[in-house]
């Protein structure tokens, strides 16, 4: 060992001990005849002292140490006269007797500090230096802890972690697969899994009863927004369970993680909200529940006053922003501009100020009397000082716009605190989505998702109304995970395929191996998968999952540090029975 202690563990009680430390030089400064060096490792920072008077040569040597040099020192622990209360080792320092430079360092291209001067691109290229920053490393420490706690919790409940293969077959539905050419099977390709969905269902057929896996998954999608081509799932499946059992199990897991990693205890069960209510009250299947500001449907109360915008709208909905009646004209214009942005697409915004003095003032005073406004305000349960914001138009589109407006107001009002967590189950998703273009139903999750038992008879009469035994866990407006109870009854499965427009042959071709397996005694089963990256990101208060991934890729799917992907040799291509053929984009 190059050290007796880490840079994070010495305390007042160690004063007088002779110790050896090793680490990186965070910074050094000369003061009078002394040189002070902050020595850093993963565990902390310890102050080293070199004294011109007692050892001039050593002090001179210390004066030539650069930032990020790796050194080893031996010295005696002493009490600091000028204590630093910000760090745990701040009461001591090391009076250095021996110094050895283990490795020199070039000047880093950006400062290794929590607030660095490095831009995104340079930090990604030198990710190994970016990872030296304490706040970045903390995200990965949290990730380690979360994965560890997930495993501990599930192990205690009898779950087995089973590794499923990475080189599997291509699945015809879903997003695009990454594929891997097989040298030994010319012209054939493996696919990298988008999820171990079918394999975990096979494990249930195998009687594994409770399976989980923290597993890399892959999707070859265009990487808009916060996506990575490879991402990590906490993938779970259970046998002999109903929806309630799955929700209880994973609510338990989630509470355990909050408790052990964030010291937050939820003493009440998580809210359960139907998909229908989520859409109705929040315009989203992943509402942010840190604040209220529910949608109020106003169509009825605003109709018949010759205001054509409202009268002709399929949907009129409002939210009541607390204590915002003081909004200035300029602020209201900003909100109007916000909802009119192409991504949101509303035509305009109607407001009603509920003034503190009880008067009401709206942008549509021309059409609505004070009494009319009063009725609307009552409908919205508005208090004096509140601001009512109203959008109108085609229903789904308007709800979506109102959802964005609600989130914007939540943001402006400081109601979306990253240290507050509002978990929620969204349940009873529709089983099918109707596609106008192809004029057929598609499975909202996948074709093995079970309908709710009480809705099964609707399969024949009104498939669009059938609800699924499917559920999502949402925290602070982020979908952290989701799953469903699967169909284990072959007759019901056949009916599903029929409704989805599959012939028997098509169903067999696409899902043959799983359907065959189901013929040999499939237990009732269901499960759930969390996105680990998102889970860590929300716990760490990060805006991007990239910051909790050690070596992430950029939006072109490139690892700029490794400079991957790259060309491969002609010999390698030939061995793989491939030829590169780049067509110019039309």
Site for a copy of itself in 451-510 (CB under 8 A): 488-490
Q: Which is nearer to a copy of itself, 330 or 583 (CB)?
A: 583
Is residue 561 a contact point for a copy of itself (CB under 8 A)? yes
Among 345, 384, 385, 524, binds a copy of itself (CB under 8 A): 524
The CA R_g of the chain, rounded to the nearest whole Å, is 30
Binding residues for a copy of itself, rule CB under 8 A, total: 125
Give the DSSP H or E segment for 252: helix 243-262
Residue 484 Cβ, how far from a copy of itself at the closest point, in Å?
17
* Cβ neighbours for 108, distance < 8 A, ≥ 6 positions apart: 67, 68, 126, 129
Residue 210 Cβ, how far from a copy of itself at the closest point, in Å?
8
Binding piece for a copy of itself, criterion CB under 8 A, among 166-174, 293-301, 374-382, 444-452: 166-174
Residue numbers 541-560 binding a copy of itself by CB under 8 A? 549-551, 553, 556-559
Contact 490, 448 (CB under 8 A): no
Binding piece for a copy of itself, criterion CB under 8 A, among 28-36, 78-86, 100-108, 269-277: 100-108
Contact 46, 33 (CB under 8 A): no
Contact 28, 62 (CB under 8 A): yes
Residue 16 Cβ, how far from a copy of itself at the closest point, in Å?
24
Among 29, 86, 106, 366, binds a copy of itself (CB under 8 A): 106
Structure-block tokens of residue 152:
């501990």
Q: β-pairing, 44-51 with 70-79?
A: unpaired
Residue 345 Cβ, how far from a copy of itself at the closest point, in Å?
28
Is residue 581 a contact point for a copy of itself (CB under 8 A)? yes
Could you give the angle at the alpha carbon of 186 between the alpha carbons of 505 and 516, nearest 5°?
30
Among 208, 367, 421, 502, binds a copy of itself (CB under 8 A): 208
Is residue 10 a contact point for a copy of itself (CB under 8 A)? no
Q: Which is nearer to a copy of itself, 205 or 373 (CB)?
A: 205
* Cβ neighbours for 368, distance < 8 A, ≥ 6 positions apart: 302, 305, 307, 362, 376
The residue assigned the tokens 């001039």 is 56
Give the three-state DSSP class for 491: helix
Among 45, 92, 124, 203, binds a copy of itself (CB under 8 A): 203
Backbone φ and ψ for 516, nearest 5 degrees, come out as: -65, -45
- The pattern of x and - marking residues 327 through 356 that bind a copy of itself according to CB under 8 A reads ------------------------------
CA-CA-CA-CA torsion sign (9, 14, 15, 16) = negative
* Cβ neighbours for 120, distance < 8 A, ≥ 6 positions apart: none
Q: Report the alpha-carbon distance of residue 454 to residue 14 in Å, rounded.
A: 68
Among 34, 147, 456, 500, binds a copy of itself (CB under 8 A): 147
559: Cα within 13 Å, side-chain hemisphere:
14
Give the DSSP H or E segment for 280: helix 275-282
- C-alpha distances (whole Å) from 456 to each of 25, 434, 470, 524 are 67, 18, 14, 16
Binding piece for a copy of itself, criterion CB under 8 A, among 76-84, 215-223, 266-274, 386-394: 215-223
Q: Which is nearer to a copy of itself, 1 or 225 (CB)?
A: 1
Residue 392 Cβ, how far from a copy of itself at the closest point, in Å?
41
Nearest 10 degrees: Cα torsion 238, 244, 245, 247: 80
Q: Which is nearer to a copy of itself, 202 or 387 (CB)?
A: 202
Binding piece for a copy of itself, criterion CB under 8 A, among 11-19, 144-152, 355-363, 398-406: 144-152
Binding piece for a copy of itself, criterion CB under 8 A, among 255-263, 270-278, 454-462, 569-577: 569-577
Residue 219 Cβ, how far from a copy of itself at the closest point, in Å?
11
Q: Which is nearer to a copy of itself, 394 or 570 (CB)?
A: 570
Residue numbers 25-84 binding a copy of itself by CB under 8 A? 40-43, 68-70, 72
- C-alpha distances (whole Å) from 220 to each of 150, 180, 250, 260, 557 are 27, 12, 29, 35, 9
Among 97, 161, 276, 379, binds a copy of itself (CB under 8 A): 161
Give the three-state DSSP class for 560: coil
Contact 339, 391 (CB under 8 A): yes
Residue numbers 392-451 binding a copy of itself by CB under 8 A? none
Is residue 132 a contact point for a copy of itself (CB under 8 A)? yes
Is residue 189 a contact point for a copy of itself (CB under 8 A)? yes
Binding piece for a copy of itself, criterion CB under 8 A, among 174-182, 425-433, 472-480, 497-505: 174-182
Q: Which is nearer to a copy of itself, 180 or 309 (CB)?
A: 180
Q: Report the alpha-carbon distance of residue 166 to residue 75 in Å, rounded.
A: 51
Residue numbers 229-258 binding a copy of itself by CB under 8 A? 229-230, 232, 240-242, 245
Q: Which is nearer to a copy of itself, 443 or 532 (CB)?
A: 532
Q: Which is nearer to a copy of itself, 89 or 324 (CB)?
A: 89
Q: Report the alpha-carbon distance of residue 441 to residue 448 in Å, rounded.
A: 14
Among 16, 32, 207, 358, binds a copy of itself (CB under 8 A): 207
Q: Which is nearer to a copy of itself, 16 or 158 (CB)?
A: 158
Could you give the angle at the alpha carbon of 292 between the alpha carbons of 291 and 296, nearest 5°?
150
């Amino acid at each position: 060992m190059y050290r007796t202690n880490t840079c994070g563990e010495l305390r007042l009680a160690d004063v007088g001990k002779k110790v050896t430390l090793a680490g990186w030089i965070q910074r050094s400064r000369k003061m009078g005849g002394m040189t002070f060096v902050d020595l850093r490792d993963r565990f902390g920072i310890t102050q080293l002292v070199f004294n011109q008077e007692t050892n001039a040569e050593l002090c001179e040597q210390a004066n030539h140490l650069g930032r990020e040099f790796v050194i080893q020192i031996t010295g005696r622990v002493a009490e600091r006269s000028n204590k630093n209360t910000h760090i745990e080792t701040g009461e001591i320092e090391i009076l250095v007797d021996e110094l050895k430079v283990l490795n020199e360092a070039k000047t880093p291209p950006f400062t290794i500090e929590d607030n660095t001067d490095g831009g995104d691109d340079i930090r990604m290229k030198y990710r190994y230096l970016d990872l030296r920053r304490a706040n970045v490393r903390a995200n990965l420490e949290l990730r380690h802890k979360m994965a560890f706690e997930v495993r501990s919790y599930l192990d205690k409940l009898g779950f087995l972690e089973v590794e499923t293969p990475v080189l599997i077959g291509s699945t015809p539905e879903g997003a695009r697969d990454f594929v891997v050419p097989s040298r030994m099977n010319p012209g054939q390709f493996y696919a990298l899994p988008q999820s171990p969905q079918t394999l975990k269902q096979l494990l249930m057929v195998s009687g594994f009863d409770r399976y989980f896996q923290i597993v890399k998954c892959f999707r070859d999608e265009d990487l808009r927004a916060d996506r990575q081509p490879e991402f990590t799932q906490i993938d779970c499946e259970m046998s002999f369970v109903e929806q309630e059992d799955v929700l209880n199990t994973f609510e338990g897991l989630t509470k355990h993680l909050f408790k052990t990693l964030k010291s937050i205890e939820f003493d009440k069960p998580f809210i359960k909200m139907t998909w229908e209510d989520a859409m109705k009250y929040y315009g989203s299947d992943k509402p942010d529940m840190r604040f209220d500001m529910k949608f109020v449907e106003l169509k009825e109360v605003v109709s018949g006053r010759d205001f054509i915008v409202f009268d002709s709208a399929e949907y009129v909905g409002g939210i009541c922003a607390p204590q915002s009646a003081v909004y200035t004209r300029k602020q209201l214009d900003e909100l109007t501009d916000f909802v009119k942005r192409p991504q949101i697409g509303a035509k305009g915004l109607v407001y009603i100020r509920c003034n503190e003095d009880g008067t009401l003032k709206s942008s549509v005073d021309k059409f609505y009397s004070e009494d009319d406004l009063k009725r609307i305000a009552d409908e919205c349960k508005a208090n004096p000082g509140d601001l009512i914001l109203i959008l109108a138009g085609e229903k789904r589109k308007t709800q979506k716009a109102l959802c964005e407006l609600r989130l914007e107001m939540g943001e402006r009002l400081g109601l979306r605190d990253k240290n507050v967590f509002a978990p929620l189950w969204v349940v009873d998703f529709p089983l099918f989505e109707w596609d106008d273009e192809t004029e057929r139903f598609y499975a909202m999750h996948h074709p093995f998702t079970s309908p709710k038992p009480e809705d099964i008879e609707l399969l024949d009469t009104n498939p669009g109304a059938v609800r699924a035994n499917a559920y999502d866990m949402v925290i602070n407006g982020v979908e952290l995970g989701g799953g469903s109870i699967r169909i284990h009854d072959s007759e019901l499965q056949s009916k599903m395929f029929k409704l989805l427009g599959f012939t028997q042959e098509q169903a067999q071709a696409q899902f043959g191996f799983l359907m065959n397996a189901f013929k040999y005694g499939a237990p009732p089963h269901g499960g759930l998968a969390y996105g680990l990256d998102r889970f860590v990101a929300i716990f760490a208060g990060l805006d991007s999952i990239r910051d909790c991934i050690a070596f992430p890729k950029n939006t072109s799917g490139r690892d700029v540090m490794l400079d991957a992907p790259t060309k491969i040799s002609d010999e390698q291509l030939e061995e793989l029975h491939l030829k590169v053929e780049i067509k110019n984009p039309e």
